[in-house]
Each structure stands twice: as C-alpha cells, then as structure tokens.
Amino acid sequence: MKTYDVNLKMPFSIFIENIFKHSTIDDLNEINFLLKRANEDKSSYFFNYGRNALSTLIRKITSPGDKIIMPAFISPSLVWAAISAKAEPHFVDIDLETFNMDPDLLSEKIESIEDVKAILVVHTFGVPNNMDIILKIVEDLDIHLIEDVAHSMFAKYDGKYVGSFGNSVLISMYKQVPNFHGALLISNVKLEEPDSKEIFSLKFLVDLANLILGPHQNLISLIRKHRSFRIHDELENKKPTDLSIKIFSHFLKTLEIFENKKRSNAELFEKLFLEDNRFIPQKACENTERVCFHFNIRFRPDLSYLRDSVSKTLKSRGIFCGIQWHDSPVVNNKIKRLLRLKETFPKTEYLSKSIINLPLSPEFNEQDISYIYRAVKYTTNSIIK
C-alpha cells in the first residue's frame, strides 16, 4: 500500500554523495547568498537547533526578567528557549484564518505590559503575517523584532521575502528540506556561534532511518502505525554537522521551485476541502505569497473532538498526518504552571485541539490528493456514525 507522510524523505544517493564531504566555504557562501539577499547588513550564525539559536539571541538582547512577546500558537520548544534565557514570555492569541498572531491583539499586549524587549513573529506553516501592521506597531519602540521562518523560506509579503522585515531571522535547515538538524540565525546583533559541532549519535541513526528512502520504509511505516519512532536527546548548544550543512546547501538551490509546485497542489486540496464545511483550511491574507508546510485544516468547533481519532485512523491507512502544535504553551500545563498563566487564549485553545496537518508533496498527482481527501472525509463519516 502506498504511504503518504508529512515527514520529508531523502534519496539515498544524496546522503551517500554528501556523507564523506566536509562543508566548504562555498557551501556557506551559497547559503548566505540565497538567504541574505534582503539581509545584507546582517551577520549569520549556525546552530544545531533553532531553540538554541533563539536562546542565544535572547540572552544577548535582554536582561533577566525582560519581556518577550510570542504567538500563543507556537512550538513549546521556543518558549523553553526564552525561559532558559531568563526572559519572561507573554502570549498573543491568533487569527483563526491564518493561524498567525493577531496584530491587533499584539498592540493591546504591548500597551498592557512593561519592559518588552523583543517580539517573535512566526509565519505559521508558511503563511506570512501582516507585516505592515506589525512594523507600524513597533516603529517608534525600542523592541527587537525576530522573524521565525522555519516553515516559510521563500514566502513573500508585499513582494518581499519574509525574514527581511525584522532585526533577526531564524531559519530551520531541516523543516522544509529533508535533513537531520541545523538552524541559521541572521541578525544585526553580534553573537558567538557554539564552539563544538554536533556529533553522530543514536538520535542521528534513528533520524537517518526515518529520512532515507528505501525498502526499510515499509517496516518503519508498520512500526509507526502503532507507536512513535523517535529518540529524544538532550539538545546541547552546538554547531550543525558538516553533513547537515552540505545537505541543506544541496536542497536550498531548488527549494523555491519545490515550494511553487507544492503551492499548486495545495490549491487542489483547498478546492476539495472547501466543499465540506466540516473542515476549514488555513488561509493566507491578501498581498502575500505563501509556501505550504503541509496542507493544514482545522475541524469545525463542534467537531474538534474528532481530530485525534481521525488522525489515528488515517495512520492505519498509510496516511501519516501531524497535529502541530497540539501542545501549544497556553495549553501546556507544565508551562502554564511555571509562568503562572491565568489569561485565556480561546482561539489558540480551539486550534490546538482541532488542527490536522496533511501530507503535501510536489510529486503528488490529482489521484493522490483525491485519495487523501476522500480518506479524511470517509474516516470522519465513519467516526460520527
């Protein structure tokens, strides 16, 4: 049975081509050329993970107890990065159409608290936020604007690449391309990169098995139908391996073309899902050119209880979905207790329990897209009955 997976895969030939090579100055120059086109006055720094890059930056631009504003719908790892840097995270609820931080609520949040030193703007799942409003809010304030483009390299707002609006930009080397790890921080702040490089570990071997295309993927798919296939290591602050830099450089050259093809397939998905009001696709605001980090839908509020059952059943049918970020910080009890969070964020709370990320590939044809849509539709029907 053919499988469909939100996790990207790498041809074995590309792994072999790069495994024994050291990253060179040409690789670094090419990465910088492609990603610093609108950030030429800034410096770039390599880290093994984005959370380590963010923590390093926050330590530099804040003092203990200073405030950083973040979207309520975000990866908990970024909140832990702020906490580890001794900053105090504050959250802003989202716009349910785009899944992005609501700029109007951002203005209210800034007015309600003191000592805000930084704002983290996440272009969620490849959909650009409304940068005109955000830039107008901060234009007369001494606030460091950080853009997270982990899902949105080559997305555009008003004809400009996202990541070119802020003081700093966080780029993932393994979210939009199949890779092991790596993050690039481009900033107008002078920072120090970690001293040592990431080393190969048990986690690397598991990631390798997940990433590489081959007959073993049938066994992995069988295992994943019943349990997680991951190893969680302590993520010390290090540089990425030469292998990760080489692989990132390889895929980066064609990533914009890759994303354009995915966008075309996302439009086919959207036409199908808009025919059924039980599912609400993520939308982009006007004047933007999105990239598509999966195809993301939410269940209608009265049907959000179906999400986990649908996701589990789809897995048994060879469709491996995501449910990012079901554990957003404002529904994460550990973070809520630590921050003594009393405020409610109704839109994020709803989205966290209703979102489902569907596989999306430039190699999908109309039959693939139709199959996934019908599987979601029929699975939902069967559970409701």
* Domain-embedded: residue 100: yes
Residues of the chain with pLDDT > 70: what percent? Answer: 86
Q: What is the largest CA-CA distance in the chain?
A: 60
Residue 65 lies in a domain: yes
Whether residue 284 lies inside any domain: the answer is: yes
Give yes or no for residue 233 having a pLDDT over 60: no
Residue 14: CB atoms within 10 Å = 17
Any idea what DSSP says for residue 197?
B
Q: How confident is the model at residue 107 (pLDDT cuts 50, 70, 90)?
A: very high
- How wide is the angle at C-alpha 196 spanned by C-alphas 193 and 197, nearest 5°? 95
State percent of the chain over pLDDT 90: 69
Domain boundaries, position 48: 20-198+233-252
Identify whether residues 116 and 264 lie together within a single domain: no
Give the number of other CB atoms < 10 A from CB of residue 272.
Answer: 18
pTM of the entire predicted model: 0.91
Report residue 113 as tokens.
Answer: 């608290």
Are residues 322 and 335 part of one domain? yes
* Residue 34 and residue 133 in one domain: yes
- Both 177 and 292 in one domain: the answer is no
Residue range 36-57: average pLDDT?
Answer: 86
Q: Is the pLDDT of residue 58 over 80?
A: yes
At residue 231, the pLDDT reads 46
> Could you report the per-residue pLDDT of 59-77, keeping only the tens digit for each?
999 999 999 999 999 999 9
Whether residue 244 sits in one domain with residue 129: yes
CATH number of the domain encompassing residue 266: 3.90.1150.10
In this prediction, residue 276 carries a pLDDT of 94
pLDDT in the model for residue 15: 73
Average pLDDT (9-20) is: 75
Same domain (yes/no): 191, 316 = no
Residues 102 and 242 in one domain: yes
CATH number of the domain where residue 243 is located: 3.40.640.10
- Radius of gyration (C-alpha) of the chain in whole angstroms: 20
Query: Which residue among 220, 252, 284 closes a domain?
Result: 252
pLDDT of residue 269: 96
In a domain, 9, yes or no: no
Burial of 118 (0-12, 13-18, 19+ CB in 10 A): buried
Residues 42 and 104 in one domain: yes
Domain end point (choices 219, 252, 285) = 252
* Whether residues 319 and 239 fall in one domain: no
pLDDT for residue 246? 87
pLDDT score, position 136: 95
Instruction: Convert the pLDDT of each residue in 76-100 to its tens digit.
Output: 999 999 999 999 999 999 999 999 9
Same domain, 305 and 239: no
- Work out the average pLDDT over 142-154: 95
Provide the pLDDT for residue 64.
95
* Sheet of 295-299, strands arranged across: 279-281, 295-299, 355-358
Q: How many CB atoms lie within 10 A of CB 253?
A: 12
Residue 250 has pLDDT above 90, yes or no: no
The verdict on 294 and 377 lying in the same domain is yes
Question: Does residue 152 belong to any structural domain of this protein?
Answer: yes
pLDDT for 200 equals 64
Residue 212 in domain: no
How many CA atoms within 13 Å lie on the side-chain side of 160? 14
- CB of 382 within 8 A of CB of 28? no
Whether pLDDT at 208 is above 50: yes
Q: Which helix (H) or strand (E) holds 69?
A: strand 67-71
Q: Give the pLDDT confidence score for residue 106 in this predicted structure.
A: 96
Q: Does position 206 have pLDDT exceeding 90, yes or no?
A: no
- Asked whether residue 149 is assigned to any structural domain, the reply reads yes
pLDDT at 294 over 70: yes
Q: Are residues 76 and 177 in the same domain?
A: yes
Q: Residue 368 burial by CB count (10 A; 0-12/13-18/19+): exposed, middle or buried?
A: middle
| Domains held by the chain: number | 2
Q: Does residue 76 fall inside a structural domain? A: yes
